Structure 1
Amino acid sequence: MKNNQMNQTAVHILLILLSAACLFPFLLLFMASFTDEQSIVKDGYTLFPSRLSFAAYDYLWNQASTMTRAYGITIFITAVGTFVGLLISSLLAYPLSRKDMPVRGFLAFVVFFTLLFNGGLVPTYLVYTELFHMKNSLLALIVPGLLTNGFFVLLIRSFFSTSIPVPIIESAYIDGASEFKIFYRIVLPLSLPILATIGLMLTISYWNDWFNGLIYITEPKLFSIQNLLNRMLSNIQFLQQNSLGGNASAAAATIPMNSVRMAMAVIGIVPIVCIYPFFQKYFVKGLTIGAVKG
């Protein structure tokens, strides 16, 4: 009995230390965003800075209107992209999970094939800009490379195959339910863990994406928050490295580049950190149940 208690205590201590190690970078990042620029240059990043400063957030506050619009765009594309991505992935995964589907094997191969090969950046860019005319549109932030992928489809298919009882579907058929009604009223409510898991993955992907904005968006009014922060950081670096004249040099010297970089990271990750605890239990359950076998 004592050995079991000692083992549990040791495991708890180990988990607490691991949790603290995971939280340490976020705490260091947060404190660095409030650290005076000269203190960072002199002492480096620390949890207990010698001088605190709000200069980084003052700098970002001066861009409040632009950042508010960028936040709105990011929230919109994240919400729409997550919903549509879940819908498409689940609609494709459901027939693949049905053993009586005639071309099930061929479609599964096509989905898996997309995990191994793609058309490359230049052909993809030409297709979305020249064929679909998505450049400088919100669709360019939603569709390319993010809306869904084969991994999500196969993961949902595995969950449907292993966790949705076949007798329930057969009894629904006997009662006269259509295929769509079975999917909507029975399959989806029983698949909340895997849907929450994929939804969280899609949400993180959309929220953190800056690459689509870099490639397809040139209009500043369509910048997402990550794309805007990336461009702001590039502009700061450009000012500091290439400033000419007294006014430009003075303006560049007053920008707290290191603390602004940390403040940008804080602004970018805080929403995701806040919503993750609400999805955590579904995230773990969805991965462990849905990935048992295909």
Structure 2
Amino acid sequence: MLTDLQIAVIGGDARQLEVIRKLTELDAKVTLIGFEQLDHGFTGANKKLINEANFEDFDAILLAIPGTNQEGVVDTIFSNEKVVLTKELLQKTPKHCTIYSGISNAYLDDITSSTNHKLVKLFERDDVAIFNSIPTVEGTIMMVIQHTEYTIHSSKVAVLGLGRTGMSVARAFYNLGAKVKVGARKSEHLARILEMGLEPFELKNIENSLKNVDVVINTIPHLIVNASVISKMQPHTLIIDLASKPGGTDFRYAEKRGIKALLAPGLPGIVAPKTAGQIIANVLSQLLKDDIDARKGQKQK
């Protein structure tokens, strides 16, 4: 149980509703910031504007999955108010207050480190990323079906990156009958791709490797599908970029070439928000319980 734990949930989308539900069921005291337009009521949760919240009381802060932008703005679909997390607000929180986010950036890293707060990036955890890859795969399949005129079966599909998402995506499309090749840099990843029965290629050869494919699925979070790569693709090629914003594709040049390129981060929150939210809620509740036990252990010493 999380009885008497004071938790702020700041911003987010439909996934956060499952997290809020789980936290209140575990008897936490939850403050909702950026949820003024949320009709649903949760016993044990109170809505507040960010300038009304008592940051001095918070044991933990859960941000929207993307964290903040470079100006500290937190995304929320349940408010028209601009929600900004600042260094000054974090300075008000207790030393033990932990900040939880899906991912981070330079701004969030800076304000948490400069205020000596622990920042937990949930999507860097293997358990969250692997579970989260399931709705990501389903959403990717949906997008390919919607935006192509041919079956996945027998299509030529290239996946860029063999991380947790890349591996799940590659396996799924292979099981659907696609001819799948996977690009990677590390020799052990190239070996794993071959062991999986897929065609490996080194990313340094990306231009030649993507010349004749039907679908490109990128999971690498830096510019890799650049203008030079796109210039050699077939006009019918579909690019789906699953990397976090701004993705790893030159979308401007793709549009100029008439090649359809779609940025699709956060697919789990779109195609399966309930499942995606439950994944986050289960991991987060366990981390919060571990924090409570750790603090109790320190007090007993």
TM over 0.5: no
User: TM-score by structure 1 length?
Assistant: 0.24
User: TM-score by structure 2 length?
Assistant: 0.24
Higher relative contact order (CA 8 A, sep 6+): 1
Give the structure with the higher percent strand.
Answer: 2
